[in-house]
A and B are shown apart, each in its own frame.
Chain A
């Protein structure tokens, strides 16, 4: 199984600050034939199901604010929130879909300082 390692486990930032969450896969999740990274990011607020934010490592899902962006390739990926808003308090998960079984990172809890 591909292991997804997220860091940090938790993060406390002030409103308006830039938040960065990292995700590392135990093997490359870049498919060479189409040059796509098989990685998604989700946001999960308390008591709610996960919500898709980013897929193909950097494609923002429709309706997701443009302060959310994804980057990286191969084994190292980043989710960036450019200017933290109160409604961004949540747990964020990365997910690899390069191979089954699909696997998730353990999550990063984002709080307001």
Chain B
């Protein structure tokens, strides 16, 4: 069974970069699709983007100018970098296995990131 775990700073200052790591066990990130999704406090789910085929990416257009998703196959990890953050980027960030680029079959527990000075 695939397991995912998010890690990274819980507090980021406005205008700085939000960086998260997702560590995957029970599956290889060289195959299939791996997504980031976020959920602002008390709100719904927002798909951010995914990485697949060992490094190809697809991003939500409204975030594309600030977003990079990458991976490290040697550590079986993938990463989220979101630049120039504002309070609107405050959310629980989830990483998930995205079956063949379709739906999220395995999810991490989530990491709360607060953007505040």
Per the bound structure, the CA–CA distance linking A107 and B46 in Å amounts to: 12
- On whether A103 and B47 interact (CB within 8 A), knowing A49-B108, A49-B110, the answer reads yes
What residues on B are CB-neighbors of A104 within 8 Å?
44-47
> In the assembled complex, which residues on chain B have CB atoms less than 8 Å from the CB atom of A51?
107
> Which chain A residues (47-82) contact chain B, with CB distance < 8 Å?
48-52, 55, 61
Residues of chain B in range 83-116 having any CB-CB distance to chain A below 8 Å: 94, 96, 99, 101-105, 107-110
Q: How many residues of A contact B (CB 8 A)?
A: 21
Asked if B58 is an interface residue, CB under 8 A from chain A, the answer is yes
Query: Which residue of chain B lies nearest to A104 when distances are taken between CB atoms in the complex?
Result: B45
Interface SS majority for chain B = strand
Given the complex of chains A and B, what is the CA–CA distance between A51 and B108 in angstroms?
10
Interface residues on B, range: 20 to 34
Q: A18 on the interface (CB 8 Å rule)?
A: no
The distance in angstroms between the C-alpha atoms of A106 and B96, with both chains bound, is 19
* B60 close to chain A: CB less than 8 A: yes
Q: Which of A18-42 contact B (CB under 8 A)?
A: 38, 40, 42
Q: Which residues of B contact A50 (CB under 8 A)?
A: 45, 94, 104, 107
**Distance of A98 Cα from B101 Cα, bound (Å):** 10
What is the distance, in angstroms, from B95's C-beta to the closest C-beta of chain A? 10
Instruction: Pick the contact of B102: A42, A97, A105, A106 (CB < 8 A).
Output: A97
Query: Chain B residues near A93 (CB, 8 Å)?
Result: 44-45
Which residues of chain B are near A38, meaning CB under 8 Å?
A: 102
Bound-state Cα–Cα, A27 to B96, Å: 26
Query: In the complex, given contacts A40-B103, A50-B107, A52-B103, what are 12 additional A-B residue pairs having Cβ atoms less than 8 angstroms apart?
Result: A38-B102, A49-B94, A49-B109, A61-B105, A93-B45, A95-B45, A95-B103, A97-B102, A97-B103, A101-B49, A102-B47, A104-B47
Which residues of A come within 8 Å of B, CB atoms? 38, 40, 42, 48-52, 55, 61, 93, 95, 97, 100-107
B residues with a Cβ closer than 8 A to A are: 44-47, 49, 58, 60-61, 94, 96, 99, 101-105, 107-110
